[in-house]
Amino acid sequence: MSKAIVRDKLTTIIMEQLGVDAGRASNIENKIIEDLGADSLSYIELIMRVEDAFEIEIPDEEAETLLTVDALLEYVNDHHTLDLESAPVAEGGLPFSKTNVLAYLDSSIKG
């Protein structure tokens, strides 16, 4: 999978999770808490969403060190094994995952 695809998907996740624009979400120098306004809960939710989207597990000790967009991007690039270039995608450009499919089904039933 290309690093550009990972960067784009991570940018989308950050935008949706933290409510920031694409320019801020994709700026690799930005600190997730200080510059993007994440608090401890939204940071944990962001990490969980990244884990789900890229089917990786980020240990708590590692998560505590992933404080910039660049650090998180590098971690994902080094640890994911998904072939996102050929994976089906859901609304928002995120790959289908168990959580995405369950959320879609849940919203379809309720809506």
- What domains, with CATH codes, occur in the chain? 3-86 (1.10.1200.10)
Q: Which of 21, 39, 60, 78 is catalytic?
A: 39
pLDDT bucket at 99, cuts 50 / 70 / 90? low
- The three-class DSSP label of residue 95 is strand
Neighbouring-strand partners of residue 89: 95
Instruction: Give the mean model confidence (pLDDT) for residues 13-18.
Output: 96
In this predicted structure, what is the pLDDT of residue 82?
72
CA 24 – CA 30 distance, rounded (Å): 7
**Residue 35 designated active-site:** no
pTM over 0.75: no
